[in-house]
């Protein structure tokens, strides 16, 4: 029973293969319930200093020597929620392909990894756990201006169609594969071109066998373009269906309040409140019906929703260069006719619903510590649009300056409007993860990834397949990375992976855009 219930509470609830540490005892008694687990970051520890350069390579060599089909190596804290210790126990968390490692063999592997920790690095307070887990590379008319206030009755539905980050996109020739437009980019220099950057596998799906270097120089204007559209097939249909449901809900509320008002006699205070509520419902029906018309004008014709075309997309390379990050990006030149220069705000996160704004203020700094409160209070958005400025350096990604009340060293981060999960909040401990991919020719590739954990077990996953291309941002509005995938199952990630933004910008500039910067404008 342990292997099925051990990770209850985690987004994908993976199957435990084997572990070191004390015995596990299942809940007993008439009121027994499954203990919930939660992933956490952790504070200063020796494993932070030796992990990337010394410990992880030895663990990888061991796994390869035993022919373990591993998929990911993460270093995380894992707690039992009901106990909630001041400091989360640290775990070397190994993902393996499903049904590829028996529990008996897994136990031997876990013990061998533990021996490396203890005998070679004198780390005695870190356990080893192996679980089954797959790594997934998650993949018209003018755009609307972001809503100005969260009271806008169509804010939730209008959100994906505004110029704010992150746009739900797909390639015109593969609209069934959807992802997210990550961030805007100006070409710089004398150029007026504005680009959108996303993960390459969103617009060149690997299953189509397209992993060659792509570059459109413009020298041959007759050459076909690789167009990118706003809203793939599923997102377009889901948005229309949601509008229909909301019109029905607000219409029913309006009719109910009308009947209730007719039954009231001489109750002025209650009548006034009901009249106000009915007015809001009627206003919502009107606005939603107008918005439904706008959506239907775009129609199922993908050519009406073309945002631009890909101008540069280097091949996906896992473990690129000395840094070993994943090269997975595409640069899309945007059609300026689809953007209103007055409504285009650049790289901003839209928090035009009351829930989003409240959650942002509640979950992000400045609530973590006096230093952050002093420096970052000015960054709390007052106009529902959180402007993104700058990037988190590679060095700081590994050494988050923020400590939680539990002594955890981590960044509080937010992902806006992933195509699947929407706005979510998470924690990044700064300990890089390692990911193994298996190619069709029996070759393997290993990469380093910036790892992000869910904010809590109640918050749900930070990301899921389909959120690829979204940017991950800290409390000061700095971009930390571009989401490329995660470890978990086909529906959700336990750990989300991103390519560090500082390195990504270096690769963008080296790919033919040396003057590129993050402050674009349409003129």
Taking each continuous run of H as one helix and of E as one strand, the counts in the chain are 13, 25
* pLDDT above 60 (res 30): no
Largest CA distance in the chain: 84
* pLDDT above 70 (res 366): no
Q: What is the DSSP letter of 316?
A: P
pLDDT at 257: 80
Residues 125 and 158 reside in one and the same domain: no
pLDDT at 280: 83
What mean pLDDT value characterizes the chain? 83
| Burial zone of 441 (CB within 10 Å; 0-12 exposed, 13-18 middle, 19+ buried) | exposed
DSSP letters spanning 246-266: HHHHHHHHHHHHHHHHHH--S
- The CA angle 114-119-399, to the nearest 5 degrees, is 70
Which tokens belong to 322? 């000395």
* pLDDT above 80 (res 159): no
pLDDT grade for 499, boundaries at 50, 70 and 90: very high
pLDDT grade for 48, boundaries at 50, 70 and 90: very high
Instruction: Tell me which residue range forms the domain holding 98.
Output: 2-132
- Residue 471 inside a domain? The answer is yes
Query: Does residue 512 sit in helix, strand or coil?
Result: coil
Residues 338 and 388 reside in one and the same domain: yes
pLDDT at 354: 43
- pTM, two decimals, is 0.83
The whole-number average pLDDT for the span 72-79 is: 96
- Residue 243 inside a domain? The answer is no
Query: Which residues neighbour 390 within 8 Å (Cβ) at sequence distance 6 or greater?
Result: 476, 477, 478, 479, 518
Residues 59 and 139 reside in one and the same domain: no
Query: Which residues neighbour 444 within 8 Å (Cβ) at sequence distance 6 or greater?
Result: 436, 437, 438
pLDDT grade for 266, boundaries at 50, 70 and 90: low
Residues 124 and 139 reside in one and the same domain: no
- Residue 282 inside a domain? The answer is no
* C-alpha pair distances (Å), 432 with each of 32, 45, 279, 384: 37, 14, 53, 32
Residue 476 φ then ψ, to 5°: -95, 5
Q: What is the DSSP letter of 202?
A: H
More confident residue, 368 or 146: 146
Q: Kindly state the percentage of the chain with pLDDT values over 70.
A: 82
Residues 470 and 325 reside in one and the same domain: yes
- Residue 295 inside a domain? The answer is no
Residues 386 and 515 reside in one and the same domain: yes
* pLDDT above 60 (res 139): no
DSSP letters spanning 37-104: EEEE---S-HHHHHIIIIIHHHHHHHHHHTT--EEEEEEEEEEETTT--SSPPEEEEEEE-TTSS-HH
Interval 250-264: pLDDT, tens: 888 888 888 877 777
- Residue 379 inside a domain? The answer is yes
Domain count of the fold of the chain: 2
Interval 462-478: pLDDT, tens: 988 878 888 999 888 89
The whole-number average pLDDT for the span 198-205 is: 91
Query: Does residue 166 sit in helix, strand or coil?
Result: coil
pLDDT at 19: 97
* pLDDT above 60 (res 353): no
Residues 72 and 29 reside in one and the same domain: yes
pLDDT grade for 154, boundaries at 50, 70 and 90: low
The whole-number average pLDDT for the span 312-318 is: 93
- Residue 99 inside a domain? The answer is yes
End-of-domain residue from the set 102, 132, 162: 132
More confident residue, 444 or 166: 444
End-of-domain residue from the set 70, 99, 132: 132
pLDDT at 95: 98
Residues 100 and 201 reside in one and the same domain: no
pLDDT grade for 362, boundaries at 50, 70 and 90: low
The whole-number average pLDDT for the span 482-503 is: 92
Rounded distance between C-alpha atoms, residue 440 and residue 392, angstroms: 35
* pLDDT above 80 (res 447): yes
The whole-number average pLDDT for the span 415-432 is: 80
Residues 409 and 455 reside in one and the same domain: yes
Bridge partners, residue 454, by sequence: 426
The whole-number average pLDDT for the span 317-327 is: 92
Rounded distance between C-alpha atoms, residue 113 and residue 265, angstroms: 77
- Residue 294 inside a domain? The answer is no
pLDDT at 324: 94
Residues 150 and 104 reside in one and the same domain: no
- Residue 246 inside a domain? The answer is no
Q: Kindly state the percentage of the chain with pLDDT values over 90.
A: 43
End-of-domain residue from the set 108, 132, 156: 132
Interval 88-121: pLDDT, tens: 899 999 999 999 999 999 999 999 999 999 999 9
Rounded distance between C-alpha atoms, residue 275 and residue 257, angstroms: 8
Residues 410 and 516 reside in one and the same domain: yes
Which residue shows structure tokens 């260069």? 321
* pLDDT above 50 (res 143): no
Rounded distance between C-alpha atoms, residue 118 and residue 126, angstroms: 9
Residues 212 and 115 reside in one and the same domain: no
């Amino acid at each position: 029973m342990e292997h099925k219930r051990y990770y209850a509470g985690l987004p994908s609830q993976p199957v435990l293969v084997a572990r070191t540490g004390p015995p596990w005892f299942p809940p007993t008694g008439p009121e027994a319930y499954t203990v919930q687990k939660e992933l956490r970051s952790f504070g200063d520890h020796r494993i932070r200093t030796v992990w990337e350069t010394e410990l992880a390579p030895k663990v990888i060599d061991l796994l390869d020597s035993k022919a373990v089909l591993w998929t990911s190596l993460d270093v995380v804290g894992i707690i039992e929620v009901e106990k909630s210790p001041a400091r989360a126990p640290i775990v070397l968390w190994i993902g393996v392909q499903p049904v590829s490692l028996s529990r008996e063999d897994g136990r031997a592997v876990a013990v061998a990894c533990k021996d490396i920790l203890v005998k070679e690095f004198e780390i005695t307070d870190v356990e080893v756990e192996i679980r089954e887990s797959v790594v997934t590379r998650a993949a018209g008319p003018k755009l609307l201006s972001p809503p100005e206030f969260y009271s806008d009755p169509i804010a939730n539905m209008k959100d994906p169609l505004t110029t704010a980050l992150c746009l739900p996109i797909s390639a015109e020739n593969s609209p069934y594969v959807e992802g997210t437009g990550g961030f805007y980019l100006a070409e710089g220099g004398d150029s007026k071109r504005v680009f959108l950057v996303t993960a390459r596998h969103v617009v060149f799906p690997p299953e189509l066998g397209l992993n060659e270097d792509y570059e459109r120089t413009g020298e041959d204007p007759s050459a076909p373009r690789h167009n990118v559209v706003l809203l793939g097939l599923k997102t377009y249909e889901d948005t229309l269906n949601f509008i229909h449901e909301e019109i029905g809900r607000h219409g029913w509320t309006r009719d109910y309040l009308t009947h209730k008002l007719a039954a009231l006699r001489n109750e002025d205070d209650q009548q006034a409140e009901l009249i106000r509520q009915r007015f809001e419902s009627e206003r919502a029906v009107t606005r939603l019906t107008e918005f439904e018309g706008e959506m239907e004008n775009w129609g199922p014709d993908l050519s009406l929703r073309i945002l631009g075309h890909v101008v540069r997309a280097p091949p996906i390379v896992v473990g690129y260069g000395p840094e070993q990050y994943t090269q997975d990006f595409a640069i899309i030149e945007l059609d300026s006719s689809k953007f209103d220069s007055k409504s285009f705000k650049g790289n901003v996160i839209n928090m035009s619903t009351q829930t989003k704004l409240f959650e942002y203020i509640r979950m992000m700094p400045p609530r973590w510590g006096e230093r952050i409160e002093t420096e970052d209070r000015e960054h709390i958005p007052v106009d529902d649009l959180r402007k993104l400025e700058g990037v988190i350096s590679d060095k700081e990604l590994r050494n988050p300056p923020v400590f939680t009340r539990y002594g955890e060293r981590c960044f509080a981060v937010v992902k806006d409007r992933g195509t699947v999960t929407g706005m979510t909040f998470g924690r990044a401990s700064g300990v890089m993860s390692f990911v193994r991919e298996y190619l069709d020719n029996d070759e393997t590739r290993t990469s380093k990834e910036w790892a992000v954990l869910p904010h809590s077990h109640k918050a749900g996953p930070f990301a899921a397949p389909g959120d690829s291309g979204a940017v991950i941002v800290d409390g000061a509005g700095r971009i930390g990375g571009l989401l490329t995938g995660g470890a978990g199952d086909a529906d959700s990630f336990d750990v989300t992976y991103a390519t560090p933004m500082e390195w990504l910008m270096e690769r963008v500039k080296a790919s033919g855009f040396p003057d590129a910067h993050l402050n674009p404008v349409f003129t």
